[in-house]
Structure 1
């Protein structure tokens, strides 16, 4: 039996299930390799903006089933809503067994305060011109699909993967300024409110940075995404680290045999099992 890595908290965000850019198989490998006490889904897990009835592969369904199974096994699942899954904000502060839906979260970790949220509330382009942000999202989707085709070709030739969108973000001055402003506003606000850690997603840029100003200090953390970077945040032994799937691959576990032939009926069955488990717990 393979031993999974035990960690206190795992944080993933910007998975974008239901979109062409999502690398669900990589994420499933990662989830199969860990045994967290808490799994924090920090927004944009399901991409409602890009949702298409004709496109929701089995690999995407397997992620949902895996999360349900983790919940049934006693893992606390905290779903923090984002802009792409904002429809779930109707269910804020709702809990079903070990799964809860919130807009933000504050935890005390060994005497330090950690503030979790997705990050879209600090994005002016979304707050003021949502239609433009959605239009940009469709453009990003097309770019991502093109990028996947090119990377398929590069991998067949044994060459390194290439990311168009990451290249654009790293080189366009406006994009760089936007990211720096985003990080600065969030970090300053965390310091102002006395948070030792501030953890977000949204901008698809994994990062861990110590920030200090005249009012105090904090550690800014971003969980990145599972579209380009394949990253997560992990908390264990009183410290945070960024997990890079492509670099770390610490004991990766591949798709469980029981998940191999899963379809929508299996997903419904998994949800039913979770509900039955919760009823037994309540009776006891």
Structure 2
């Protein structure tokens, strides 16, 4: 049997990242702030960190003692060696995100913390809509242009599938504004976030598609000042390596008191 085709072309992704500009990686800086904010709320000393990132120059100054690991399919992490693993802005390009989470969990010591930040499902919804409609109108077809990104409910389920305890998934919406479509696409190139899907269109796209996409973008997503709004959604994932010291949910039916009594209200049975 043939192997399942991979969604992302990792060779193309490496080329895109190689030409990224450090001064364009504002999403990584926003992710750093989210990570530091969440770590500040952890009532525990974490001294053995590892960071999975394609841009170590961005993350190393903030975590100088961390092991920096490339986001390859097989992560260079020894089992049970870290009390903190940060997956930094790379999971949305993983062909096997569950595998990445499982490897991260195995690298954690008991009661170690996993923190992941990636682009979520609301990212570039304006660009996806405008390009999709424009290509359909102009060419009569539709090709993969903006990578599919996971919704928050799916990401929470991935944490559970990976065996992480006390899983939490939430999102942080960010908005940027651009002069025109060309400005947005150039910024994505400078971030290393352009199309690296395996089934992407391999021939140049005609100007008519981009011209029509610009019209649609301005019609539906322009700001009052005439600039183009672009949404970037940071999905933040938190989970712990299982440990006996952690709180555990009670078994169904083990409650010793009725919720209705605590609330001083009457209980009304639901209809079948």
TM-score range, shorter chain: under 0.3
Higher strand share: 1
* Structure with greater Cα Rg: 2
TM-score by length of 2: 0.26
